[in-house]
Copies of this chain bind each other. A is one copy, B any other.
Amino acid sequence: MDLLANFAASFATQLQSPTLAFLIGGMLLAASGSRLTIPDAIYRFIVFVLLMRIGLHGGMEIKEADLTALAFPALLSAVTGCVCVMMGWLVLARLPGIKFDDAIATSGLFGAVSASTLAAAIIILEEEMIAFEAWAPALYPFMDIPALVLAIVLASLHAQKAQTENGVRPKIGAIIVDSLRGSALSALLLGLAIGLLTNPGRIYTEFYDPMFRGLLSILLLIMGMEAYSRLAELRGVAHWFAVYALFAPIVHGLIGFGLGYLAHITVGFSPGGVIVLAIIAASNSDISGPPTLRAAIPNANPSSYIGASTSIGTPIAIAVCIPLFIALADLVFGL
Please encode chain A, from 197 to 212, with 1 for each CB lying within 8 Å of some chain B CB and 0 for all others.
1111111001110110
Q: Does A39 contact B (CB under 8 A)?
A: yes
Q: Does A40 contact B (CB under 8 A)?
A: yes
| Complex interface residues of chain A between 41 and 84 (CB less than 8 A to chain B) | 41-42, 44-45, 48
Determine chain A's interface SS by DSSP, over half rule: helix
| Complex interface residues of chain A between 99 and 134 (CB less than 8 A to chain B) | none
Q: Does A308 contact B (CB under 8 A)?
A: no
Q: Which residues of B contact A206 (CB under 8 A)?
A: 210, 213-214
Q: Does A159 contact B (CB under 8 A)?
A: no
**Nearest chain-B residue to A56 (Cβ)?**
B18
Q: How many residues of A contact B (CB 8 A)?
A: 50
A44 to B193, alpha carbons, bound, how many Å? 26
One complex includes copies of this chain to the number of 3
| Complex interface residues of chain A between 114 and 165 (CB less than 8 A to chain B) | none
- Contact pick for A25, options B36, B37, B194, CB 8 Å: B194
**Are B210 and A215 neighbours in the complex by a CB distance under 8 Å?**
no
Of A178-186, A249-257, A261-269, A327-335, the one with at least 4 CB within 8 A of chain B: A178-186
Q: Does A166 contact B (CB under 8 A)?
A: no
**Nearest chain-B residue to A218 (Cβ)?**
B48
- Contact pick for A29, options B15, B45, B186, B197, CB 8 Å: B186
Which A-B residue pairs are the 8 nearest by beta carbons?
A207-B214, A39-B41, A36-B186, A41-B41, A34-B186, A36-B183, A18-B198, A21-B198
